[in-house]
Chains A and B, each alone.
Chain A
Amino acid sequence: DAGITQSPRYKITETGRQVTLMCHQTWSHSYMFWYRQDLGHGLRLIYYSAAADITDKGEVPDGYVVSRSKTENFPLTLESATRSQTSVYFCASSVPTYEQYFGPGTRLTVT
């Protein structure tokens, strides 16, 4: 399917486990982003990437790791999940005129 997809859409995991959220886009956009959305905080940038093998921290990077070996994929890993990482995670990709296109989100619950 064309566009930007995220998997899984829903995930429940236990504290301390490693979790990887997947993001895939078919537009060959250079820029990709990960956000978390929490009540009262809006959307906060976790990590972003300007191109394959180029990543940088956003506003709330602690506890997260990203990689980008291919332009179309931008996985987000929680190395040791904590309850504070319970959230809805959105991936986005961007065109040069800066508007971002968002995936459908992954709802993650850490118990």
Chain B
Amino acid sequence: AQSVTQLGSHVSVSEGALVLLRCNYSSSVPPYLFWYVQYPNQGLQLLLKYTSAATLVKGINGFEAEFKKSETSFHLTKPSAHMSDAAEYFCAVSEGGTSYGKLTFGQGTILTVHP
């Protein structure tokens, strides 16, 4: 069975600082991995995805994530935080194939950006 663990339910950074949100997964087959962002009172928006191509994936709004198979990790980073990055971030894994693309989500990490 697939699962996702997001380390840290809350992360706080200063504007302009590095953002690092951690995600570890378990999967019995090569996974597809995703990061989503949720702004208050909105649905989830796809930030980026890994589907077995390049291990360093670039997404929207300057975010990127690196797939590390040996560490079963898919951490999300952004070199310089902006106030508008404040939101909740979800990591998700899919085993694809006959699982109908079902996603298993982590618990989420709330990112706070302070001036």
Contact = CB atoms under 8 A, between A and B. Distances in A.
Interface string A41-76: 111010010100000101000000000000000000
A89 to B, nearest CB: 11
Contact of B101 (A94, A103, A104, A105): A94
B102 A45 contact: yes
Contact of A98 (B44, B94, B107): B94
B107 A42 contact: yes
A97 B51 contact: yes
Contact of A103 (B34, B43, B49, B107): B43
Specify the main secondary structure of chain A where it touches its partner. Answer: strand
B42 A98 contact: no
A97 B53 CA distance: 12
Interface in B1-47: 32, 34, 36, 41-46
B51 A105 contact: no
Nearest to A105: B43
A104 to B, nearest CB: 5
Interface residues of A, number: 24
B107 A48 contact: no
Nearest to A104: B43
B25 to A, nearest CB: 14
21 contacts: A31-B101, A33-B102, A40-B107, A42-B108, A43-B105, A48-B100, A50-B100, A58-B102, A90-B44, A92-B44, A98-B49, A98-B51, A98-B96, A98-B101, A99-B34, A99-B46, A100-B44, A100-B101, A102-B45, A103-B43, A105-B41
Interface of A: 31, 33, 40-43, 45, 48, 50, 56, 58, 90, 92, 94, 96-105
